Amino acid sequence: MKWYYLPVVTAASIAATMASAADLPKKKAAEAPPPPPAWLDTVTVDGYVEGGVAINFNQPFNKLNWGHLYTDRANWPTFNGGVLTVARPIDPKATGYDFGFKLQGQIGEDARYNHLTGFLDYLIHDRTQIAILEANGQAHLPWTSFLSEGGIDVKAGIFPTYNGAEVMYAKDNLFYSHSYIFNFGPFLHTGLMTATHVREWLDVYAGVTTGVNNWIGYPGQPNSSPSFHGGFGLNLLDGNLTVLGIVHHGPQNSSQGRFNYFYTPGVLAAQGLLWPNGVLGGIPAACACNANSANRTFTNLTTTYKPTENLTLITDIAYNRESGWNPISFSGISPAFYPAWDATGIFPAPLASLPQKAQGADSYAVAQYASYKVNDIVKVNGRVEYYRDNKNFFVGAFPGYFDSVNAFHGFACPSCIARPAGVGTSYLALTAGVTITPEIPKLPIITGLIIRPEFRWDTSVNGTTPFFRGNGNGFSKSQGMFNMDVIVPFSLL
């Protein structure tokens, strides 16, 4: 290279270096992660509308599907409800403080069972009612120590129970119809709940509530004592195996309860030997118990395992116990009493003949689920459940508009239905269905479509006949059903 070329080469090299240096900040800016969104930008507004039908092959004379709540109406369309959710979820893995909230309301026939006592529970005199499913504030507290490696999450207000595999939010379940474990377990709580992230694989839950489906204070809360809600969660095998052990324990009987074994004339003849037994609440006059110390316990151990990407197995084990209730047996009452009882509408058995000390009642159950994702449109689901109601205390029917809240309050419930107390029933339920999420044209607001047809067969395996059938006031050992619902999810924000 000749000497007079050197200045030219040097100048070109310097110019190239300066240009590269000038571009460097641009490249770094392009590679840097985007700033986190503003708090308000993470608020969501969404929900769904659900309706379905439960066809009972028994053609029950009273149009009731025994053992069901949200699907209790036989052979008639049901508007289960519309749900609207406004939420700002917290990040449980946030390294700093994080705050959020969740407001969720419901209108529909399911709302009859989702009330808090003393809060909107007698507002609408119809099957279609309104209820608040969630109204809570949330916070992630990055308080770390040996006992809380990942901080603590706090939730205060109204929130769904942590018990069980199935939830009140319909689109998150595998089936339209619910298990006995769900139907006759807790639904809602009012109180404070904490989740301590002890390790990446271990969470510890602890909180205090006003009980099950109870608002705060009289006449909302049926008694003056708090309840405990808590347990543990395990996150194993990179999230492919989770175990959730949860208990809710505390007084649930109502201090407002009075002798509520009443019938209107003609009801006994239409229903046979059926009478309200205080299920979900209420104190019979013969219950020699203190409403603030007679505890009701709901315990669930729920295991979810994903052996493959498309296969999910869920096992839900439950044990429930009510300590402050007397099983009342009519085995010693002469049939001659029945017509007189029907005519007066009041049960005439002498209270002195009933147990003067609370005997208690319990149930235990196991439900096994399997779900296989065939493709992005079809998922095949199965459920097998065994449920033992030892004293026929937990399983009941509440066909009236306010039967469920009357039972919670401990008020008289003329149309509530139960099975002979102290006898016990063992239920076996088999359910097979599919979840279909077809592709739909892009629409404003509507984000998808969910269709869930299923076949279900329930039977008693201990010789009892708890199910209704169509010939008069007859009863059956089993019932077969075809159920299907349609869910339309939507998003407003």
Rounded-to-integer distance, Cα 215 and Cα 209, Å: 10
Q: What's residue 76's pLDDT?
A: 95
**DSSP-derived secondary structure for 365-393:** EEEEEEEEE-SSSEEEEEEEEEEEETTS-
Q: What's residue 460's pLDDT?
A: 97
C-alpha angle 76-82-83 in degrees, rounded to nearest 5 = 140
Domain of 253: which CATH number?
2.40.160.10
pTM (two decimals): 0.83
CA 349 vs CA 175, 278, 299, 400, 462: distances in Å: 43, 17, 35, 26, 28
Q: Do 1 and 86 belong together in one domain? A: no
Q: Do 198 and 271 belong together in one domain? A: yes
Q: Which DSSP letter does residue 238 get?
A: G
Task: Identify which of 257, 67, 94 has the alpha carbon closest to the alpha carbon of residue 177.
Answer: 67
Rounded-to-integer distance, Cα 300 and Cα 318, Å: 4
Q: Do 289 and 429 belong together in one domain? A: yes
Instruction: Say which residue the tokens 């309050």 belong to.
Output: 409
Written as tens digits, the pLDDT of the chain (493 aa) is 444 443 444 444 545 445 554 554 555 555 666 777 788 888 999 999 999 999 999 999 999 999 999 999 999 999 999 999 999 999 888 889 999 999 999 999 999 999 998 888 999 999 999 999 999 999 999 998 888 899 999 999 999 999 999 999 999 999 999 999 999 999 999 999 999 999 999 999 999 999 999 998 766 666 778 999 999 999 999 999 999 999 999 988 877 654 333 333 333 333 333 333 333 333 444 355 677 778 999 999 999 999 999 999 999 999 999 988 765 433 333 333 333 333 444 444 444 455 556 778 899 999 999 999 999 999 999 999 999 999 899 999 999 999 999 888 877 788 889 888 778 999 999 999 999 999 999 889 999 999 999 999 999 999 999 999 987 668 999 999 999 999 999 999 8
Question: Does residue 39 form part of some domain?
Answer: no
Q: Do 191 and 277 belong together in one domain? A: yes
Rounded-to-integer distance, Cα 260 and Cα 269, Å: 19
283-330: pLDDT as tens digits? 444 355 677 778 999 999 999 999 999 999 999 999 999 988 765 433
Give yes or no for a contact between 425 and 452, defined as CB atoms under 8 angstroms apart. Answer: no
Question: Does residue 359 form part of some domain?
Answer: yes
Q: Do 216 and 240 belong together in one domain? A: yes
Task: Identify which of 475, 323, 291 has the alpha carbon closest to the alpha carbon of residue 397.
Answer: 475
Q: How many structural domains comprise the chain?
A: 2
Range of the domain at 300: 45-491
Question: Does residue 38 form part of some domain?
Answer: no
- The token duo for 51 is 């309706």
Task: Identify which of 164, 156, 194 has the alpha carbon closest to the alpha carbon of residue 180.
Answer: 164
Task: Identify which of 342, 489, 372 has the alpha carbon closest to the alpha carbon of residue 46.
Answer: 489
Q: What's residue 217's pLDDT?
A: 75
- The token duo for 446 is 């509507």
Q: Do 14 and 50 belong together in one domain? A: no
Q: Do 28 and 74 belong together in one domain? A: no
Rounded-to-integer distance, Cα 425 and Cα 111, Å: 28
Give yes or no for a contact between 389 and 402, defined as CB atoms under 8 angstroms apart. Answer: no
Question: Does residue 217 form part of some domain?
Answer: yes
Task: Give Cα 21 distance to the centre of its chain.
Answer: 60
Hey, which bits of 142-288 come out as E strands? 152-160, 188-199, 202-209, 227-236, 241-251
Q: Do 12 and 160 belong together in one domain? A: no
Hey, which bits of 341-444 come out as E strands? 361-373, 378-389, 425-436
Task: Identify which of 433, 310, 419, 303 has the alpha carbon closest to the alpha carbon of residue 366.
Answer: 303
Q: Do 112 and 26 belong together in one domain? A: no
Question: Does residue 456 form part of some domain?
Answer: yes
- Cα dihedral sign, 64-112-206-228: negative
Rounded-to-integer distance, Cα 449 and Cα 70, Å: 20
- The token duo for 76 is 């008639």
